[in-house]
Amino acid sequence: LKVITLSDSRQFWETLEAMTPDLVILDVEMPYTNGIEICKVVRNDPHWSELPILFLTVHSDADIVNQVFSVGADDFVSKPIVGPELVTRIVNRLERIKLQRRIAENQQTKVIEQMKDQFVSIVSHELRTPLTSIHGSLGMLSSGLLHSGSEQGKRLLEIAVDSTDRLVRLINDILDIELIESGKVKMEKDICNVADLISKSVQAMQVLADKAEVTISVCAEGSLRLYTQADPERVLQILTNLLSNAIKFSPSGNTVWLMVQQQGNEILFTVKDTGRGIPADKLGSIFERFQQVDSSDSRDRDGTGLGLTICRSIVQQHGGRIWVESVLGEGSSFYFTLPSLSDCHSAEH
């Protein structure tokens, strides 16, 4: 055992950060502070809340014991105590901690393995679908039964091309999300004018909107004065993905709104549509991989089922939040936030 003792309790937090102990022994009464207060603060700190704490004190009355355990102590030992007995108590406590950690690690490993197996299974299925279409279409053409110049032949070529495009998008999205979530992709953050991001995203989606006969309406008063420190290409990826979904699921003649506003130290982006909406039982999982409102969405709407997952990962990499509100049959509103920079901060740059 490696033991570090402190004669001055004011050094507690500095020592805690420096050595990251496996267990802390406190007394109720200590110079400059109270052990119960230290225990209370430790338990309220998310980083140290699980740190095992043992109290060693001359106090043994019921009130003190109740106070000690009420603030989250793991064990209580009354003085005087024989040295070997104290060491045994400490060793036993540490062994239990090691066992609990091992159990937790094993459970986490099992969960990761299950997620990996599920992911591989879904990816295999998603890849197989376009590959089957490509193989079937090209097989018919190569057999000589159909001429590539005939109407049926041209249709088979279109199916092969469309399936190839979907396959490329799917592979790119899979690679993208794996790199982002693993932290291997560095966000190239810069100071961005929000109005520029809005303008570029709308321009990128205008052709799709015109084809679907859907209007994009922007409500972003004051966005010229809004700045955020972010990777502009990744923010555009979020905006175009959300706008694309809103357009695809909106009936012709409808409007999709893109709204931006300052909320405290954050910038709130909203993409709202009046399409078919999302069922309540899907709202909690809509940002998970390969989640679709309907199983035919990825095929009928040219989606991969990974767009919203990628959006969530990018937003989280920027320290923001993303969520959705929806009423089935009335439409959906997707929200995400990015940190806001003050005017003076942006002006300096």
**Parent domain of 125:** 113-181
Answer yes or no: is pLDDT of 179 > 50: yes
**48 & 175 share domain:** no
User: Nearest CA to 17 among 55, 45, 53?
Assistant: 45
Question: 3: burial class by Cβ within 10 Å (0-12, 13-18, 19+)?
Answer: exposed
**198 & 339 share domain:** yes
* CA distances from residue 180 to 97, 171, 175, 239, 267 in whole angstroms, order as listed: 34, 14, 9, 17, 22
Would residue 48 count as lying in a domain? yes
Q: Which amino acid is at 211?
A: K
Would residue 17 count as lying in a domain? yes
Give the whole-angstrom CA distance, residue 241 versus residue 256.
13
Give the whole-angstrom CA distance, residue 98 versus residue 192.
48
User: Nearest CA to 245 among 280, 271, 215, 213?
Assistant: 271
Confidence of residue 105 (pLDDT cuts 50, 70, 90): confident
- Residue 324, SS3 per DSSP: strand
User: Tell me, what's the pLDDT at 259?
Assistant: 95
User: Of 32, 63, 81, which one is at a domain's C-terminal end?
Assistant: 81
**206 & 344 share domain:** yes
20-34, 175-189, 272-286: which has the highest mean pLDDT?
272-286
Would residue 102 count as lying in a domain? no
80-94, 95-109, 266-280: which has the highest mean pLDDT?
266-280
47-51, 132-136, 165-169, 313-317: which has the highest mean pLDDT?
313-317
Q: Give the CATH number for residue 58.
A: 3.40.50.2300
**230 & 339 share domain:** yes
pLDDT, averaged across the chain: 83
Q: Which two tokens stand for residue 187?
A: 């966000």
**328 & 201 share domain:** yes
| CA 215 remoteness from chain centre | 31
Would residue 103 count as lying in a domain? no
Q: Where are the extended beta strands (E) located within 220-346?
A: 227-230, 255-263, 266-272, 322-327, 331-339
Answer yes or no: is pLDDT of 160 > 50: yes
Answer yes or no: is pLDDT of 126 > 80: no
Answer yes or no: is pLDDT of 127 > 90: no
The rounded percent of the chain whose pLDDT value lies above 90 is 30
Q: Give the CATH number for residue 152.
A: 1.10.287.130
Q: What is the helix, strand, coil percentage profile of the chain, to 5?
A: 55, 15, 30
User: Of 162, 181, 200, which one is at a domain's C-terminal end?
Assistant: 181
**340 & 194 share domain:** yes
Would residue 234 count as lying in a domain? yes
Phi, psi angle pair for 218, to nearest 5°: -105, 130
Question: 195: burial class by Cβ within 10 Å (0-12, 13-18, 19+)?
Answer: middle
The number of domains in the chain is 3
**165 & 211 share domain:** no
Give the whole-angstrom CA distance, residue 209 versus residue 273.
12
Average pLDDT over residues 70-74: 88
**268 & 342 share domain:** yes
Would residue 104 count as lying in a domain? no
* CA distances from residue 309 to 68, 128, 176, 180, 223 in whole angstroms, order as listed: 45, 21, 10, 10, 27
The number of residues making up the chain comes to: 349
Confirm if 81 and 87 have CB atoms less than 8 A apart: no
- Residue 10, SS3 per DSSP: helix
Model pTM above 0.85: no
Would residue 57 count as lying in a domain? yes
**177 & 196 share domain:** no
**210 & 231 share domain:** yes
User: Of 161, 181, 201, which one is at a domain's C-terminal end?
Assistant: 181
Answer yes or no: is pLDDT of 195 > 90: yes
Rg (CA), the chain: 29
For residue range 197-242, what is the model confidence (pLDDT) as tens digits?
999 999 999 999 999 999 999 998 777 789 999 999 999 999 999 9
Q: Which two tokens stand for residue 322?
A: 């993303």
Would residue 97 count as lying in a domain? no
